[in-house]
Each structure stands twice: as structure tokens, then as C-alpha cells.
Amino acid sequence: MHGINGVGHVAIKVTDLDRSLDYYINKLGFPEMLRLHKDDGSVWLVYLRITDAQYLEVFPGAENDRAPGWNANGMNHMCLTVENIDDTLAQVAAAGLELLLPLKTAIDGNRQAWLEDPDGNRIELMEMAEDSLQLQAIRRLQETGAIA
């Protein structure tokens, strides 16, 4: 569909808002942008900045104590692209976070490692390779005129 120019936000439900905000703000470094409140004054959601055009919406009140497993229907994980995964993983270690899956070069040619937030939401950290399968496919689409 023409006119779509990106993913604006990812929304997650969490069991403990303060714990999750500590993780995303103090460990991953996403600044809090704003909070929206319900009529009773309780927090409805908190916006965290990933980039100026991409946000993480954090909603309290999750019904389950863990995110669905790897093979469940629905969203499986969010992928955060990084410029230098080695530098990012040094920051992850300094923040005291453990990796869910260690650093590896995936079948698509990109280097990746995985984290899990306190509710089990999976987070892929990915450094896109210049010769990755995704970028090769984009170049083919451009060459054939399928995209500009």
C-alpha cells in the first residue's frame, strides 16, 4: 500500500510497570516521552522513545505473567537495529543484562543477539550486514522497478 513509510510503534503489555520501565529506560536507554492516564488517574500507557519516529508503548495490566512462547500466534519479537553490535553488547553487559541467545551471524548474514524483558518479551538486537539477504532483496526490487 502506498503511503506507508515505517513502523510507528510497538506496544507491549506488562505485569509490573515500574519494573518494565526500569528495564527499558535504565537498562536499554529509552527515554520516557509521556504518560497517558485513565479517567481515574491511573496510568493507561507510557511512551518510550526508540528514535524520533519510533516508540515503544508500555501498557500495565497484563493478564499473563509471561509473554507467549516462541511458537505462539501473534507477534513473536521486536528487532532493534544497531550500528555496532559489539558496542551494544558491551553496554548490555555493563547494564547487568543477560542474553537470551548469544551473538551469532544468522542465515541472513546479519549479526544478532537476543534479550528478554522482565515479562519474557523477546528482543532481537541486529547489526545489518552490507551483503545481508534483506539488502540484496531491496536492491533487486529497486532494479526491477518494484520499488523506488
> 76-89 pLDDT, tens per residue?
899 999 999 999 99
Q: What integer pLDDT is reported at residue 67 of this predicted model?
A: 86
Q: What integer pLDDT is reported at residue 1 of this predicted model?
A: 59
Q: Are residues 60 and 95 in the same domain?
A: no
Q: Are residues 99 and 124 in the same domain?
A: yes
Q: What integer pLDDT is reported at residue 69 of this predicted model?
A: 83
Structural domain range at position 140: 66-148
Q: Are residues 82 and 116 in the same domain?
A: yes
Q: Are residues 124 and 108 in the same domain?
A: yes
Q: Are residues 84 and 139 in the same domain?
A: yes
3-state secondary structure of 18: helix
Burial of 117 (0-12, 13-18, 19+ CB in 10 A): buried
Q: How many domains does the chain have?
A: 2
Q: Are residues 51 and 75 in the same domain?
A: no
3-state secondary structure of 19: helix
Q: What is the spatial distance between Cα 49 and Cα 144, in angstroms, rounded to a whole number?
A: 36
CA distances from 140 to 5, 136, 143 (A): 19, 6, 5
